[in-house]
Amino acid sequence: MLVAVLLAVVLPGTVSPAEVHFSPDEGIRRHLLRAIRDSRQRIDVAVFQLTSVELAQALTAAKNRGVHVRVLTDKERAATGGPAMRILREKGVEVRSLGISDQSLMHHKFAVFDNGLVATGSYNWTNTAERANYENLVLFDDRDVVARFIREFQRLWQDAKD
C-alpha cells in the first residue's frame, strides 16, 4: 500500500502501469510490431540503429495504410543500415539522421505511436538486439511523459539532415 501511495505521488497522472520486456528471451520485437500494426495516425522513431528488415517492412506497411511515419537514426548508422534503411527510403518513409562522426551520436532508442504510446529502453531495432543481446523495452502511455518524448523527437527532427 505504501508503495502505491509513493508511486502516485512520484508519478502523478499515470493512467496505466508500464509494460516491461526483456530480450533475448521474451521477444521484444513482437511488442514493437504490435504497436506499429495498431497505429492509425503517426509513428515517430528515434533509434540509434535500425537493421531489422521485419521492423522496416512493418513501418512501410503502416505508411501504406496512411500512417505518417518518420525515422530518425544516427548519421553513421543510417549510412550502414543495409537493407532495412534501404527499404524505408525506397518506400518513401521519411528518414533523417543526426550526429557528428567521432563527436556525438544520436543514441536515443524510443518510438512514439499515435502521440499516445511510447516504447523506450536499451533495445536497438536490430536482429542482434532481438536474438543475442540482453536488452529492455518499456511501453507506457502516461500523457505527460509521452508529451516530453514528442517534444524531444520534434527537437531532434528539426536539427536532423535528410
Question: 97: domain CATH number?
Answer: 3.30.870.10
Name the residue range of residue 151's domain. 18-159
The model's pLDDT over 42-85, given as tens digits with 9 standing for 90+, comes to: 999 999 999 999 999 999 999 999 999 999 999 887 777 689 99
The model's pLDDT over 104-134, given as tens digits with 9 standing for 90+, comes to: 788 999 999 999 999 999 999 999 999 999 9
- Is there a domain that residue 116 lies in? yes
What are residue 95's DSSP bridge partners? Answer: 71
Q: Pinpoint the alpha helices (H) of 20-126.
A: 29-38, 53-64, 75-79, 82-90
Q: Which residue has the cell 544520436?
A: 106
- Is there a domain that residue 13 lies in? no
Task: Give me the active site residues, please.
Answer: 107, 109, 114
What are residue 69's DSSP bridge partners? Answer: 43
- Is there a domain that residue 53 lies in? yes
Higher pLDDT, 33 or 23: 33
User: Per-residue confidence at 154, pLDDT binned at 50, 70, 90?
Assistant: very high
Q: State the pLDDT at residue 102.
A: 64
C-alpha distance from residue 91 to each of 37, 61, 74, 86, 88 (Å): 17, 9, 20, 8, 5
Domains of the chain: total: 1
